[in-house]
Chains A and B, each alone.
Chain A
């Protein structure tokens, strides 16, 4: 075992140029794998983040006739304790209303939020472009698009017609920009109390919203939550509502795997053919060792170790190259303002997997020369000088 390893190491050292070239071949395969993988994972994370990063990922609503949730404090606590992945759990009181200003009517969704907890989801404090948060009684914030379209400014009074019947007046405290035109046009955000009095909800809310630290666990967590909460409440998750996005991501992942598999197959073929040649180069040495009584199994181990060592060297070199390439990419492929066009996702587990894969592949590639070495008959070498 140890001798075979030592001989393998010595053979590799004796032909440094050749060893370096094979290791470089493996390294290029590994680095392409790491680079493409990091790029695609970065793209996916970016896409998921822009799509669902600033919205509720699991939403609890009521199944009752009025669609309202009574006595919600215990529910918030129960949800918080149910799963450690859950975060930014926040109550929401919302309803459809007709907003009028300057004799024009606009159909809007009034969303009453608990600003402290909702900020984790909607980042309102960062997205306020004018005025202040609507913390006071009968104060609201409107979206940038609505503000421009209707000519409403901070400090203006607007009136709402809701299910209550009587028009009610509220003051515009601030203007937000959620970077989605549709929401900027139709959302009006207030405190929970304001929304509750606009719609006469008393102390009830319409939903509980939350996010997860692992967005892809949403379906599993939602299902567990549903079974804990019983069927008076309905638990929805983003995955159920975004099938198209999910299948897009899946397609991307599959094409990324395909590229990686083919890169590795070409590396495998390259190593196998080079190692096959080294067996012929070293047949004299193998013959001498066999005449001295080395066993066939040890003779084949020499080449397995060569494959393993080349794989390890190639993997290390490939990680350095791949991470360097990724780093250079985020450094040089940038917007005018210096932010990378695509933020690559450097995933250590994925890099480790690529490395293990490359090492396995190059060890497998050395099986063919190992077999040849095992079968070599010393007399062929001794007879032919």
Chain B
């Protein structure tokens, strides 16, 4: 299997005056279609790593390759397209647009790329809403939904442009354990049905153990990798 994500000697430092080094020489490769979890203590650098993979943040040193292409060679518009077409994000804080309905939020990545929404796409968005179990509330404003509903909307949105890779940072961090379980099962389903590659940060070992691979980050280095 080909690697869709590749990190070569990635280092990350924060600050200009007082420098704090967060990531140390990270080498990591992620296979297409795999389901990966990242665990580690709070402050160990998991989010920093994921944001670098997602091109939202840049490494201080080292290379990031997505689909074999170096992201440091891309300009801002190419990075925007990459994020739009190849990557899907699910954040811990749901990050929906409160001015739009759930369905409109799900359609947003498509509209960013193509503008007008044809009938088939609208149908697909509706199917995604069914998939995450939101057919009844999809026309509610994002700000009028419960936390679990918002997170499921964010998942449907991440799937909208059929990205190759979905990056999730504690997607169930502030949800109860039943809802968490449902959402993980949903992600696993999507992984198996659509072959989407997942990289998920979680602090829940029980959930991590269901992944194909567990990567543990310890003080900015890869500890365990099984």
Contacts A2-B116, A294-B80; is A285 near B97 (CB within 8 Å)?
yes
Chain B CB within 8 A of A290 CB: yes
Complex: chain B residue closest to A288, CB-CB: B95
Complex: chain A residue closest to B77, CB-CB: A295
Chain A CB within 8 A of B118 CB: no
Contacts A383-B47, A385-B93; is A290 near B80 (CB within 8 Å)?
yes
B216 to chain A, nearest CB (A): 22
Q: Kindly identify, within residues 82 to 116 of chain B, every residue whose CB is under 8 Å from any CB belonging to chain A.
A: 82-85, 89, 91-93, 95-100, 108-109, 111-113, 115-116
Q: Kindly identify, within residues 1 to 53 of chain A, every residue whose CB is under 8 Å from any CB belonging to chain B.
A: 1-3, 7, 10-11, 13-14
Chain B CB within 8 A of A233 CB: no
Chain A CB within 8 A of B127 CB: no
Chain B CB within 8 A of A289 CB: yes
Q: Pick the contact of B84: A2, A292, A296 (CB < 8 A).
A: A292
Contacts A3-B111, A292-B112; is A11 near B99 (CB within 8 Å)?
yes
Q: Pick the contact of B80: A2, A7, A293 (CB < 8 A).
A: A293
> What CA separation (Å) do A295 and B113 show in the bound complex?
10
Complex: chain B residue closest to A6, CB-CB: B111
Contact B82 A293 (CB under 8 A): yes
Name the A residues within 8 Å of B47 (CB-CB): 383
Chain A CB within 8 A of B191 CB: no
Name the A residues within 8 Å of B54 (CB-CB): 291
Q: Pick the contact of A291: B83, B85, B92 (CB < 8 A).
A: B83
Q: Pick the contact of A289: B91, B98, B108, B115 (CB < 8 A).
A: B108
Name the B residues within 8 Å of A296 (CB-CB): 76-77, 80
B203 to chain A, nearest CB (A): 16
> What CA separation (Å) do A2 and B95 show in the bound complex?
22
Name the B residues within 8 Å of A3 (CB-CB): 111-112, 115
**Chain A interface residue count: which class?**
20 to 34
Contact B57 A293 (CB under 8 A): no
Contact A292 B89 (CB under 8 A): yes
**Chain B interface residue count: which class?**
20 to 34
Q: Pick the contact of B97: A1, A13, A289, A382 (CB < 8 A).
A: A289
Name the A residues within 8 Å of B80 (CB-CB): 290, 293-296
Contact B108 A292 (CB under 8 A): yes
Chain A CB within 8 A of B56 CB: yes
Name the B residues within 8 Å of A291 (CB-CB): 54, 56, 83, 89, 95
B223 to chain A, nearest CB (A): 23
Complex: chain A residue closest to B112, CB-CB: A294
Chain B CB within 8 A of A378 CB: yes
Chain A CB within 8 A of B51 CB: yes
> What CA separation (Å) do A289 and B111 show in the bound complex?
11
A287 to chain B, nearest CB (A): 8
Contact A2 B115 (CB under 8 A): yes
Name the A residues within 8 Å of B111 (CB-CB): 3
Q: Kindly identify, within residues 263 to 305 of chain A, every residue whose CB is under 8 Å from any CB belonging to chain B.
A: 284-285, 288-296, 298
Name the A residues within 8 Å of B182 (CB-CB): none
Contact A293 B100 (CB under 8 A): no
Q: Residues on B close to A: CB < 8 A?
A: 47, 51, 54, 56-57, 76-77, 80-85, 89, 91-93, 95-100, 108-109, 111-113, 115-116, 157
List, sorted by A's number, 14 A–B pairs whose CB atoms are closer than 8 Å: A3-B111, A14-B98, A285-B97, A285-B98, A290-B80, A292-B109, A292-B157, A293-B83, A293-B85, A293-B109, A295-B76, A379-B56, A379-B57, A382-B95
The 8 A-B pairs of least Cβ separation, nearest first, read A293-B84, A293-B83, A14-B99, A293-B80, A10-B99, A379-B56, A288-B95, A379-B57
